[in-house]
Amino acid sequence: MREEIIRISEDEIARQREFAQKVRFHPDRPKTYFIVTYGCQMNAHDSETLAGMLEDMGLTAAAEKTQADIVLHNTCCIRDNAERKALGNVTWLKEIKKDRPELLIGVCGCMIQQAEMANKLLKQYPFIDLAFGTGNLYRLPEYLLEAIENKDRVIRVDREASTVAEGLPVRRENDIKAYITVMYGCNNYCSYCIVPYVRGRERSRLSDDIVREAELLVQSGVKEIMLLGQNVNSYGLDSAEGVSFAKLLRRVSRTGIERLRFMTSHPKDLSDELIDEMACNPVIAPHLHLPVQSGNDRILREMNRRYTREHYLQRVQALRSAMPDIGLTTDLIVAFPGETEQEFQDTLSLVEEVRYDSAYTFIYSPRKGTRAADMPGKIDAAVASERIERLIAAQERITGEILSGMHGQTAQVLVEGTSRRRETQLTGKSGRNINVNFTGDASDIGKIIPIRITGAGSNTLRGEKEE
C-alpha cells in the first residue's frame, strides 16, 4: 500500500471546529454519548480524542450505554475475536434502538479501515448510522452534523489512513497518567499483522508538538506520560527533523514529568542510543515491552520479524547489563501456520531464558489480506489451545518467582487510587509496571512513594509505606 502522508492543515481543523459549533447549537443533536473501546492503548487514546470532540459539541458522557443518545464503538481488528466482539455488541444495540429510534449507533477505528468493510456495513448492518476510520477521525463533527441534518446514514470508509491531525480536543480518562501518541502507523508488515493495512504508513508527529503537549500535561498535574506508537523505535525516521526516539525521550523527560514510559518497541530497531538513554535518565521507568512473538528462527523469518532469536537475546543482555533491575514484558503468538512442536518449544525455552515479568499470549488468528493468511499448515485448534496453556503456565510460574523474589525490596510506586474493596487500601504501579497494594490514605494519591515489598500475589505485590 503506497499512500501519501497527509498533515491535516490548521484550516481544516478550524473548519471542523465550525461544524462542531453547528452541532452544538442544533436542536436535534444528541445530548449524551457513550464510547465503547476495544483493543490497544492507541485506541484508548483515540477514544479520549473522540470524547473531547463530542464534549466540544456540547455532549456529556452518559453513565450507561443504554441511556446514551449516541454510542460510538471504537473497534479493533487485530484478531478475529476482537472483531466478532465489536460486531456482536453493535448488533445487541439494535434491540435498544427499537425502543429508542433516536439512538445513533456509530462504529469507528481499525475494523472500519479494512477493505470491503463499507459494503459489509451498508448491506448487513443497516442500523449503523455513522461509520468512519482511524484516518478520518478528526472529521467526526462534519459527519455528525451530516447525520443530524440529513437524518441519513453517514458511512465514510474512504481508506484515508495516513493522516496526522494536530490540535484536536482531548477528554482524558485519568488525571495522574496520560497518553501521548508520538507516531502513527507501521511499515513493518509482519506477515500475520493487519495493523499496517488499517493504520497506514509510519508518520511521526513533530517533536515540538509532542513536547508542548507534555508541558501542558505537567502543568495540569499529570505525573506519568506514556508515549505511544506501533513502533516507537522508528520515531523520526520519516521526518526531516533529525530527532531520534532517544532524543525525544530526553526532551520530554525535561518537561518536569515525574515518570515516562513508552510502547511499543520493535526488537530489530532497539538501538544502543535508546538503551543508554534509558539507563542514564531517571525519569524513564525501568520497564520495556519488547514483543518477541516466537523463539524460533524459522517462524520469526516466516513472520517477517527481521531478527533472530540470538539477536533478540543479545538485546536483552544489553538491556540487563545497562539496567540490572529492568522489567521486561512481551507478546507471544502460538500456532503460527506450520509451527511444529519443536518450534513451539523454542518459544517456551526463550521464555524460560529471558524470564519476563509478564507476557501477553495469543493464538494466531488469520487476518484477510495479510501474507500469513495464505500460508499452508494451519494448526489444529486443540493443539493451539494446548500450546497456549503450556505457555501461560510457564509464564505464570516465572511471574510468581519474580514477584516472590522482590520481597524486602523497595519499589517506587505511583499511587493511582484506592482499591475497589477498601478506602485505606491504595494501589499503584512500580517503575517496573507491577501493581502494588498497600495501606495508606487519600493524600498519597498522585505521588510517587517508596513502598517496602512484604508479599506477592499471582500478579500483584503487597507492601508497606517506608517510614
Q: Which of 456, 407, 412 is nearest to 285 (CA)?
A: 412
Long-range contacts for 272-280 (Cβ within 8 Å, ≥24 apart)? Answer: 272/318, 273/244, 273/246, 274/233, 274/244, 274/245, 274/246, 274/249, 275/318, 275/319, 275/322, 275/323, 276/246, 276/322, 277/246, 277/249, 277/250, 278/249, 278/319, 278/322, 278/323, 278/326, 279/322, 279/323
Under a CB-based contact definition with an 8 Å cutoff, are residues 281 and 245 in contact?
no
Calpha distance 301→296 (Å, rounded): 9
- Smallest gap from Cβ 339 to ligand 5AD, in A, equals 12
- Smallest gap from Cβ 330 to ligand 5AD, in A, equals 8
At position 331, the amino acid (one-letter code) is: D
Residue 188 makes contact with ligand SF4 by CB under 6 A: yes
* Among the residue ranges 61-69, 363-371, 400-408, 452-460, the one whose residues contact ligand 5AD (CB under 6 A): 363-371
What cell does 166 get?
494536530
Q: Which does 365 bind (CB under 5 to 8 A by kind): ligand SF4, ligand 5AD, none?
A: ligand 5AD
Question: Maximum distance among all alpha carbons in the chain?
Answer: 65
* Three-class DSSP category at 105: strand
Of residues 35, 78, 103, 326, which one binds ligand 5AD by CB under 6 A? 78
Calpha distance 259→177 (Å, rounded): 9
Q: Which does 288 bind (CB under 5 to 8 A by kind): ligand SF4, ligand 5AD, none?
A: none
Calpha distance 258→382 (Å, rounded): 47
Calpha distance 439→423 (Å, rounded): 9
Q: Which does 364 bind (CB under 5 to 8 A by kind): ligand SF4, ligand 5AD, none?
A: ligand 5AD
Q: Which does 203 bind (CB under 5 to 8 A by kind): ligand 5AD, ligand SF4, none?
A: none
* Among the residue ranges 163-171, 241-249, 362-370, 427-435, the one whose residues contact ligand 5AD (CB under 6 A): 362-370
- Kindly state the number of chain residues that form the binding site for ligand 5AD, as judged by CB under 6 A: 12
Of residues 49, 113, 207, 231, which one binds ligand SF4 by CB under 6 A? 231
- Kindly state the number of chain residues that form the binding site for ligand SF4, as judged by CB under 6 A: 10
Residue 195 makes contact with ligand SF4 by CB under 6 A: yes
Residue 266 makes contact with ligand SF4 by CB under 6 A: yes
What cell does 168 get?
484536536
Calpha distance 289→320 (Å, rounded): 14
Q: Which does 367 bind (CB under 5 to 8 A by kind): ligand 5AD, ligand SF4, none?
A: ligand 5AD
Q: Which is closer to ligand 5AD, CB of 233 or CB of 365?
A: 365
Q: Which does 230 bind (CB under 5 to 8 A by kind): ligand SF4, ligand 5AD, none?
A: ligand SF4
Residue 101 backbone phi and psi in degrees, to 5: -60, -20
- Smallest gap from Cβ 264 to ligand SF4, in A, equals 7
Of residues 49, 181, 255, 293, which one binds ligand 5AD by CB under 6 A? 293
Residue 105 makes contact with ligand SF4 by CB under 6 A: no
Residue 230 makes contact with ligand SF4 by CB under 6 A: yes
Residue 113 makes contact with ligand SF4 by CB under 6 A: no
